[in-house]
Amino acid sequence: MEDRWDPAYSKTLATPLDECVYGSRLIGSDPALVLHGGGNTSVKAPFTGITGTTSEALFVKGSGWDLATIEPRGFAPLTLSRLKDLLTLDSLSDPDMMRELMSASFDPGAPAPSVESLLHAFLPHPAILHSHADAIVSLTNVSDAGEHVQEIFGDSVVVIPYVMPGFDLARAVATSWTDQVNPGTVGMVLLNHGLFTFGESTREAYTRHHELISRAERWLDENAPVPGPPSAALPDPDTVALAGLRRDISDAAGFPMLLCRHCDQTSTRFVQRPDLDSLASRGPLTPDHVIRTKRVPMVGRDVAAFASAYEDYFRQYGHRGRTELTMLDPAPRVVVDPGLGVLTAGRTIAAADIAFDIYEHTMPALERVEDGLDGYTSLDASHIFDVEYWDLEQAKLHLAGPPAELAGVVAVVTGAASGIGRACAAELLARGCAVGGIDIDPAVTTTFDHAAWLGLTVDVADPEAQASAVDSVVERFGGLDIVVIAAGIFGTSAPISDLDADDYRTVQVVNVDSVVSLLHTTHPFLVRSPVGGRVSIIGSKNVAAPGRGALSYSTSKAALAQVARVAALEWADDGIRVNTVHPDAVFDTGLWNDDLLRERADKYGLSVDAYKTRNLLTTEVTSAGVAKVAVELCTDTFSATTGAQIPIDGGNERVV
């Protein structure tokens, strides 16, 4: 473990709470110590109320706060004496405990305190740090964990067998404390759970955290080193099979899921193990991970078998619930497959990536313990079940609120770097969709700073490059549900008598041929969509009302409209909807500039503003407005609509 404490900076910290915030951020920002909401910290210090009365308080990490970014307001100030009174009880239910903790707060606006607040209150030290360090949980997921801990740490730590966090854990520690503690005690190891260190200050607790974890890491390096690189790379994925697997997982979950593929060295090495099925199926490093990853990953691709096994698991342990339980969805969150690598599923890209962050740390730990020690042994499934269905853990997931409208859905948008295409991509992202954007402009790669965005520089006139881009989107997000076709060019404006044949052909290739190619490429993915494929095509007013000198553009858009109609006819049996929107006078696109607008306005004897609203409704048509309609056509609002041709032009006399 790297010692990242900066003595110079720590001298600027004014209060014990400020120092606790600093120490919390140091361990919280190290993924080898804390992952996604794990761990907690506290400091005991005076709290002065508005009347000037001072009481001894426990400032403990609030539920829902990430240690990596926690602020002073992320700590709940609790009356320490009240917490110590609660520890004298023989029993205390979780709801009663949380109610009492909330009532012990000096600040009703503070976050809900950590479920381990009573343990922090019991420990007779001012500053406490708790992590789920990889090295510690690796050591304690073996049959003789106590012996290893004793060998490495001697009597410098108190060792507590696994007890579910909350009142019972606090009481278990209180019961064992006197028998184990000594003047040299600097920490506490909770088997299958993690490490506590304490001290007179957060600085001292952090130093002890660093020392103990570093000692464990050195011991593991000597006795159970990290395996070497994989023997071979994984083959290129079968993206159609990947899309089918995503559909099966989504069907099992009851809602669309993203499925992200990982083929880094750690993942590749792990899925190539001959004992993959056995090792991967023994359980998580620590029970806290279960709400993100399920108890075990799915090995291979038999989703029905995994779901059935999960239902058996629920039936076997459902009676352990303190209230009547409703089974969670039985779909896997992690998949390990020798051909595909490691796949992680989630309703959002954040959820899928969190699952991988956890499993990325799990895989080498499992391998080290299995190969170098006496074999990996997780907690009994009953204990994992208790945490998975624990109200206090489930509450962490509910903090995110309901899913977005298009959560778990994947789209490809062409022409996504600017204009209507960019607006469509922005609208899809805003509705929770994962989006792959295609454009000839290299700026497409950075058009959006969003985890659910994958921008790819592609010339749509190159069918192979376009197909490769679609494969990249499917590999990143697992499949494809929506295709929005916005890429297009106008070509040179000229009468037929002066038409340039090469220019005419170029417009047809970009505006029509590339679309036919894209539809051909995406059909196998759209037909495997868990929500039913949806295609939205950006046409043009010129289909119904062509203009002089616009033969290339007008004929290409007319042909495109026919492509959309034929696709709607042919794909209806596959549950794929194909609709077209026909915008007009969308002046905030790359087809227009100030000079051209001025020229056209002068031609009609109008101001530029009047020219922009030259329609029946005298309204300006914008890229964002077109995008809202194009994307809405891809939602359940239009579940019974296909083959539609919808004008978005403010009302054009020639069209009406």
- Residues 6 or more apart from 530 whose CB is under 8 A from it? 246, 247, 250, 251, 256, 257, 408, 479, 481
Residue 232 domain flag: no
The CATH number linked to 268 is: 3.40.225
Q: Does a structural domain hold residue 404? A: no
Q: Same domain for 197 and 248?
A: no
Q: Please indicate, yes or no, whether residues 363 and 497 belong to a single structural domain of this protein.
A: no
Residue 295 has pLDDT above 90, yes or no: yes
DSSP for 547-589, written as a single string: -TTBHHHHHHHHHHHHHHHHHHHHHGGGT-EEEEEEE--B-SS
Residue 647, SS3 per DSSP: strand
In-domain check, residue 234: no
Neighbour count for residue 626 (Cβ, 10 Å): 26
Q: Are residues 54 and 173 in the same domain?
A: yes
Residue 449: CB atoms within 10 A of its CB come to 6
In a domain, 345, yes or no: yes
Q: How many CB atoms are located within 10 Å of the residue 92 CB?
A: 19
Distances (CA, A) of 497 to 385, 490, 500, 537: 77, 18, 9, 31
Residues 244 and 174 in one domain: no
In this structure, are residues 250 and 408 in contact, taking their beta carbons and an 8 Å threshold? yes
pLDDT beyond 70 at 17: yes
Predicted confidence (pLDDT) at residue 143 exceeds the cutoff of 90: no
Nearest to 291 by CA among 386, 189, 160, 222: 386
- Give pLDDT tens digits for 512-571: 999 999 999 999 999 999 999 999 999 999 999 998 899 999 999 999 999 999 999 999
Please report the pLDDT score of residue 58 as a whole number: 97
422 shares its domain with 474: yes
Q: Are residues 160 and 266 in the same domain?
A: no
Domain of residue 530, CATH code:
3.40.50.720
Length in residues, the chain:
656
Strand order in the sheet with 453-457: 453-457, 434-439, 410-414, 482-485, 534-538, 577-583, 645-648
| 502 C-beta neighbours (distance < 10 Å), count | 9
Name beta bridge partners: 337: 341
Is 142's pLDDT higher than 70?
A: yes
| Domain end call among 357, 372, 398 | 398
What is the reported pLDDT for 11?
92
- How many structural domains is the chain composed of? 3
Q: Does one domain contain both 534 and 630?
A: yes
| Domain boundary, last residue among 190, 223, 256 | 223
Answer yes or no: pTM beyond 0.75.
Answer: yes
CB atoms within 10 A of CB 204: 18
For 412, phi then psi, to 5°, come to -115, 130
Domain range enclosing 215 = 7-223
Residue 208 lies in a domain: yes
Q: Is the pLDDT of residue 399 over 70?
A: no
Same domain for 385 and 514: no
Which of 101, 129, 155, 178 has the alpha carbon at shortest distance from 22?
129
What does the DSSP assignment read for 25-74? Answer: HHHHT-TTT--TT--EEEEEEEEE-TTS-EEEEEEEEBTT--TTT--GGG
Same domain, 114 and 47: yes
CATH, residue 201: 3.40.225.10
Residues 587 and 617 in one domain: yes
Looking at every residue in the chain, the average pLDDT score rounds to 94
The pLDDT of residue 397 is above 90 = no
Which residue, 172, 188, 223, sits at the end of a domain? 223
- pLDDT given at position 35: 85
Domain membership flag for residue 523? yes
pLDDT digits (tens, 9 = 90+) for 111-139: 999 999 999 999 999 999 999 999 999 99
Q: Rounded distance, CA 535 to CA 519, Å?
A: 9
Backbone angles phi, psi at 273, to 5 degrees: -65, 135
Residues in CB range of 540: below 8 A, 6 or more apart? 553, 554, 557, 582, 583, 584
Tell me: do 72 and 102 sit in the same domain.
yes
Whether residue 147 sits in one domain with residue 37: yes
The verdict on residue 262 lying in a domain is yes
Residue 52: inside a domain, yes or no? yes
Q: Report CA 66 to chain centroid distance, whole Å.
A: 15
> In a 10 Å sphere around its CB, with 0-12 CB exposed, 13-18 middle and 19+ buried, how is residue 21 labelled?
buried
221 dihedral zone (left: phi>0; alpha: psi -120 to 50; beta): alpha
> How many Cβ atoms are within 10 Å of 6's Cβ, its own excluded?
11
Torsion over CA: 492, 498, 500, 506 (sign): positive
